[in-house]
Amino acid sequence: MIAGVGLDLCEIARMQKVCDSEAFCSRVFTDGEREYAASRASRSESLAGMFAAKEAFAKATGLGLSRTGLKNVEVIHDESGRPSLVLNPNAAFYDSLRNARFHLSLSHDGGVAAAVVIYESEAER
């Protein structure tokens, strides 16, 4: 059963501006996320999508960003490019969500990246 849905938008130009500072990107994105973005045609577009995904996760779970922590949720992509979320097993919230399912959709258009996260609770499935 769906326990939560989160949606977030991130302006790509804003992400490009803040990621001119590698210090910001290092605080917000995992090594894997930064490597993936660097391999893409538009690094800023990829980072904006991943940032929106982290925000959407925080909204879907009701944890908020302060309790989630930006690097405790990682956006990964399979061979076909399909994105998904991986939770840090050391995160304070991990035990309560480790058996949950998260569905992620990312989109980019008109200078904006969008992410939707659907949180499916095991207890309610």
Contact in structure between 52 and 113 (CB atoms under 8 Å): yes
Choice among 59, 71, 77, 103 that is catalytic: 59
**Residue 54 near residue 68, CB atoms below 8 Å:** yes
108 tagged catalytic = yes
Select which of 71, 77, 103, 108 is catalytic.
108
Beta strands in the chain (DSSP E): 2-11, 73-77, 83-87, 101-109, 112-120
Whether 59 is a known active-site residue: answer yes
* Residues forming the active site: 59, 108
